[in-house]
Structure 1
Amino acid sequence: MDRLTAEARILELRKQIEHHNRLYHTEDRPEITDQEYDNLVRELQGLEDLFPDMVTPDSPTQRVGSAPLAAFEKVVHKTPMLSLGNAFGEEDLRDFDRRVRQAVGNQNVRYVCELKIDGLAISLHYEDGVFVKGATRGDGTTGEDITQNLRTIRSIPLRLTRPVTIEVRGEAFMPRAAFEKLNKEREERGEALFANPRNSAAGSLRQLDPRIAASRQLDTFIYAIGDLQGVDVESHSEGLDLLESLGFKVNKERRTFDNIDDVIDFVNSWVEKRPQLAYDIDGMVIKVDSYGQQQELGFTAKSPRWAVAYKFPAEEAITVLKGIEVSVGRTGTVTPTAILEPVSLAGTTVKRASLHNEDIIREKGLLIGDHVMVKKAGDIIPEIIAVLPERRDGSETPFAMPTHCPECGSELVRLEEEVALRCINPMCPAQIREGIIHFVSRQAMNIEGLGEKVVASLFEKDIIRSVADLYYLHQQRDVLLGLERMGEKSVDNLLTAIETSKENSLERLLFGLGIRLVGAKAARVLAEHFGEMDGIMAANEEDLTVIDEIGPKMASSIVGYFRQPQAQAVIERLKAAGVNMSYKGIRVEAGADLPLSGKTVVLTGTLATMTRQEAEEAIARLGGKVTGSVSKKTDLVIAGEKAGSKLEKAEKLGVSVMDEAGFRELLESQG
């Protein structure tokens, strides 16, 4: 393709992609399938690869493309991002209305009511319609430049529908479904869970690697104009309409009212309706609509006089603990759950609450029949926050954890140094079912179309009884077609995803098997060290503990797993089905003559020209092995910007230190 033809096609593709992006992420009315959209992006990427000088910052291919940052730059807001005064009840709203009407005299006042999104306040700057900078609210005067992270959010347009120069304010948030998915993945990796969607959204945008933000499925609502050049707008409601026309995502659940009674009715209606939303809100925002009246009302030192935030009542309730049920997870952990007298909370009926483990029950002093105070953590997860012993009448009874598994009847054990009880029967149906759900998850074999409900249905109907059975489902196509919501296309997509997963590298399979104590990182270390599944299966504890990051407990767990006849049978069936059993990453053979052959390397600080993963892969190509801590066995420390205690320890121990420039030179010397 010649240059002129390519340039014309690139411009057309960008226009089409942004059009469909806006329809899907902003207006919720897609016109094409995901596959058709992906095809357009792939074609554009291919052309930009051929003509890299044609790549522009507003190209859809540039949403995730930057290297991690060393630090966030500071941004001074041209107009301060002030916080709002609060209202906590009907009388507070009436007081607000009285103050407004007294200040503007006999003028009519119109209010705009909007949902108060529970997320992170952001500011977006556009020059001639092109997104150039995005920042956090910070202290209201100075925020942080998070442009690269904000570029990854699909509902933020990179180019507006008109070439205006504008600064807008809004809220970045994580939808509830994305939050639950993220926490589930973190739990599977043994990582700490986020407390609520707001914390997870803020954490996603205030970290230095844009690829992490891109993986978090964040969204936005834009709710105000901070600065606008060349366009006249006379009211807030008119401004919101303008924002929509420019391609921003503006919340549809907004209304205008001419009196405070209607405002109060609207606010109260959302106290009950808020659980129906796909995202969290923690109140309502009421603003005077007229910009002229806003200017007349002015500001206090901290907040505008023309707006107020109504905060919903605290979401707590008192109910009765009717009983405690226990469930079994994929690793055999037995978890108690409180069964509650149904109570209305945050607009939903709560019947259950997590208790985590037996020690929590003991610490809270819970008795069956107790009156308890319940709240929704982050407005989502019900939990018992207090017991009310003063309400006891003597009929309450203590709870004792079961001695045998509720699913398979095997005796439960408490392993050394663990709080939880476990079922250690490898054939326990609950563990097998949960294990299959883990196996198909994103970080493991990543089989799309096999969600929890589909797996549970297949397991219930005895179609699958182990992870290996997944790779023989093509023989039961008719059975799959008989399942609820499984049409021809769904079945075809599922079977294709299963077939594709056969090519995954060994570390994904290892992690997917759910070997106790073996997380994603340990799985990669094992796969890289042994190269083949057979080598791992044949290893003894001594073979394993010589590997950095594999301790005695993990080694014992690995050996114990592969000694089980059931595990061996699963591996053989996976092999027979054609599932890859080899590591597809970079392996360095012992004795290879490379600059870092046999050397133990520690990375510390922030590297400006590569990600941590890229650096680790580069070290592997040079023959080195990366570990997380500095010791006398460390041969080299590669120190980036803001290197801390690891660098200090290396200098104290006399370990060789190389800066990033030296590391780049070493890499370039190897071609």
Structure 2
Amino acid sequence: MGEEASSTDAREARIAFLAEQIAHHSNLYYNLAQPELSDAEFDRLWDELKQLDSEHPQLSRVGADIAPGSVKVDHLFPMRSLDKATTTEELNHFVNVTTSGALQFLSQPKLDGSALSLEYRMGRLVRAATRGSGERGEDVTRNARKIANVPHTLPLPVDVHVRGEVVMPLAVFDAKYRETSPNPRNLAAGALRQKHADGKADAADLVFQAYDAKLPTGEHRHPDSATVPDMANDTDMLVWLEDTLGIVPAPWEIHAAATPSETAALLDEATVAWTGKRSGYAYEIDGVVFKLDNLDQRERLGMTAHHPRWALAWKFPP
């Protein structure tokens, strides 16, 4: 009897130790970017705990993540809204007046999903947050990790905040959810924020498409973070995201001409083209986003309290 009790006590003590070690090393890995164990060593702890207690709650936690939606977090870089337009006249004003006659812009589809910020520290995904108020959002890291094309670890040990849109492919929505939900946008937002695995939608059915990246500096940057090459244009950043980091950006197109009026005409043509592509597109879209390509020009134009002066969201007519 005494030996059985002793054996049970030893087993429970080992389970408690393993759970504590997994939590500790997850925090070092995901939040502090200071791992003390190799992946193989960590996996051995995980596998032993799973063998001793396959239902242990520590095994249902991803990294050092908190329950989605339970904590508000501050955005180091505010996630601002965009100024909106619906007419050719407003496009002309944006090119000729707001951006002082700029000649080169890029466009991306205005994906109708849920905005998300992915924060990488030393190349490891440490936090994912919704836009929220723009200044503060909800921590949804646990669910964001389930999105298939969101890397948990980047090929480069870099500090970067990647902004993008989480969307559900219309083919997936039609096959799995159309009978139970009004639209894929609501499902995308719900799948990010749901606290339980048996929610209305599976985050694994979502796709992330990037449209921006911000680089922490000073005290917010890890001293060993990899150096990022100088970039003159937003298109350079999008290429870097895809080719170096393996993060998929939303598709983009360059519009450039010799005069502002010619450039504005190209933007107007792009709205017509996207209107034609809308019904057959893989995701729900509700317009086109135009952004000044040159990053120095963006810096000079700056922001209002609400939106950047160098970007415009053209929305499809109702």
- Within the alignment, does 1:280 sit opposite 2:300 as a pair? no
- Scaled by the length of structure 1, the TM-score of the pair is 0.35
One of 249, 262, 266 as aligned partner of 2:266: 262
Q: Does 1:134 align with 2:128?
A: yes
Q: Highest relative contact order (Cα 8 Å, sep 6+), 1 or 2?
A: 2
Contact 1:124–1:169 under 8 Å retained in 2: yes
Amino acid at match of 2:241: L
Partner of 1:66: 61
Letter in 2 for 1:288: L
CA distance 1:101–1:249, change in 2 (3 Å)? closer
The answer to whether the Cα contact below 8 Å between 1:257 and 1:263 also exists between their aligned partners in 2 is no
Q: Which residue of 2 aligns with 1:83?
A: 81
* Aligned-partner residue type, residue 286 of structure 1: F
Other-structure match for 1:207 = 194
Q: Which of 146, 153, 158 is 1:159 aligned to?
A: 153
**What pairs up with 1:337-376 in 2 under 5 angstroms?**
none
- Report the Cα distance in structure 2 between the residues aligned to 1:215 and 1:124, rounded to whole angstroms: 15
> Equivalent residue for 1:304?
308
**1:66 deviation in Å?**
2.1
Question: Partner of 2:223 in structure 1?
Answer: none
Unaligned runs of 5+ in 1: 1-44, 56-63, 188-192, 315-671
SS at match of 1:238: helix
Larger Rg: 1
What secondary structure does 2:164 align onto? strand
- Which amino acid letter does the alignment assign opposite residue 283 of structure 2? Y
Q: Secondary structure at the match of 1:287?
A: strand
Q: Deviations over 1:343-370 (max 9, x none)?
A: xxxxxxxxxxxxxxxxxxxxxxxxxxxx
**Deviation at residue 250 of structure 1 after TM alignment:** 1.1
Paired residues of 1:116 and 1:285 also in contact (CA < 8 A): yes
Out of 98, 101, 106, which is 1:100 matched to? 98
Q: Which residue of structure 2 lines up, in the alignment, with residue 219 of structure 1?
A: 207
Q: 1:262 to 1:129 in 2, by over 3 A?
A: same
Amino acid at match of 2:67: L
Instruction: Give the AA of the match of 1:100.
Output: T
Q: Cα gap change, 1:51/1:298 in structure 2, threshold over 3 Å: closer, same or farther?
A: same
Change (3 A) 1:46 1:179: farther
SS at match of 1:286: strand
Structure 2 unaligned segments of length 5 or more: list them.
1-38, 50-58, 218-226, 258-262
Partners of 1:113 and 1:284 within 8 A in 2: yes
> Distance between the aligned counterparts of 2:247 and 2:60, measured in 1?
22
**CA spacing shift, 1:155–1:110, aligned 2, 3 Å:** same
CA distance, structure 2, for counterparts of residue 75 and residue 278 of structure 1: 32
Q: Does the Cα contact within 8 Å between 1:114 and 1:255 map onto a contact in 2?
A: no
Give aligned-pair identity as a percent.
36
What residue is the counterpart of 1:584 in the other structure?
A: none
SS at match of 1:91: helix
Matched residue type, 1:66: R
Q: Is the 8 A contact 1:73 1:145 kept in 2?
A: yes
TM-score (norm: length of structure 2): 0.72
Count of matched residue pairs: 251
> Residue 181 of structure 1 is aligned with which of 175, 179, 196?
175
- Paired with 2:69 and 2:108, the residues of 1 have a C-alpha distance of 34
Cα distance in 1, alignment partners of residues 80 and 68 from structure 2: 28
SS at match of 1:124: strand
Distance 1:72 1:304, change over 3 A: same
The Cα shift of 1:135 comes to 0.1
Equivalence map 1:329-340=2 (5 Å): none
- SS of the equivalent of 1:122 reads strand
Other-structure match for 1:58: none
Distance change >3 Å, CA 113–CA 49, structure 1 → 2: closer
Pairing partner for 2:139 from 145, 149, 156: 145
Task: Tell me the distance in 1 between the aligned counterparts of 2:216 and 2:48.
Answer: 29
- Preserved contact between residue 68 and residue 192 of structure 2 (Cα < 8 Å): no
